[in-house]
Amino acid sequence: MGCVIEKLFKELCALTKNIATMANNQVNQRLQNLMDSLGYRFADISLPQLALTHRSFNSKNNYERLEFLGDSLLGMIIAEALYQRYPEHKEGILTRMRATLVRQESLVIIARQLQLSNYLILGAGERKGGGRQRASILADTVEALIGAIYLDSGDIYIVRKCVLSWYGDLIDSVSEQKVLKDAKSRLQEWLQAKQLGLPSYELLETQGNAPDQVFIVQCQVNVPDFPTIVQSGESRRIAEQKTAELMISQLNEFFNDK
């Protein structure tokens, strides 16, 4: 009986070891895939792991400090790139162009190109709540990875090369017409051009607890028989911008049909 138990114990230990080895191999393969997407090979593997870790998984050791560092680096890199590529633009225009390129919406585009949602390390609740596609998390992770690359390489030129490769044509295609006015400004000008007054925004509801709240906002315009638009976002500003963007689209359809 003792021999049987000993044999079973050895088999269990071997199975456990094999499972652990397979798990480690999967993690390593995922990191290799990520580094291929990033265009950078980390010497310290703990840095990209930290950059992908949300506070819902670990409240103490997560990407927030790396995000802080990456945010500053990103602003400087984009500012320099715009300064070099648009010598004819004045400071005010360059500032708005930079704001467009470093805002959450642009970072989400990059995160999706890099397929970062596949690598996020989230707590169970955040995973179930759709955290892998949450815009704020994706944007934060891009900035955290920038910070991680800088700490790992210690070379701002390497970081710049990575960041500009991620942005690709976004910097070259940024135009004054696209960046000077956000959706709310464009909606306001659209309405004023038709002498329809100003839009109004109202916060209807705030769901969840900080920092993972969802804001639900409605937008109304002074157009007879036109419905209100309701959208949600990770911040009130984002929700308002989304309502304005949808409102512009539907107003164009409404007036074109008449």
| 214-221: Cβ within 8 A, 24+ apart | 215/239, 217/242, 217/243, 218/243, 219/187, 219/243, 219/244, 219/247, 221/187, 221/191, 221/196, 221/197, 221/247, 221/251
The catalytic residue among 67, 71, 182, 234 is: 71
Residues 6 or more apart whose Cβ sits within 8 Å of residue 125? 56
- Of 213, 241, 237, the C-alpha closest to 229 is 241
The catalytic residue among 67, 126, 140, 143 is: 143
- Does 143 participate in catalysis according to the annotation? yes
Task: Say how far apart CA 33 and CA 183 lie, in whole Å.
Answer: 36
Both tokens assigned to 34:
């990520």
Q: Are strands 214-220 and 229-233 parallel, antiparallel or unpaired?
A: antiparallel
- Amino acid at residue number 221: V
Residue owning tokens 């929700």:
239
- Amino acid at residue number 231: Q
- Does 71 participate in catalysis according to the annotation? yes
Q: Which residues are catalytic?
A: 71, 143
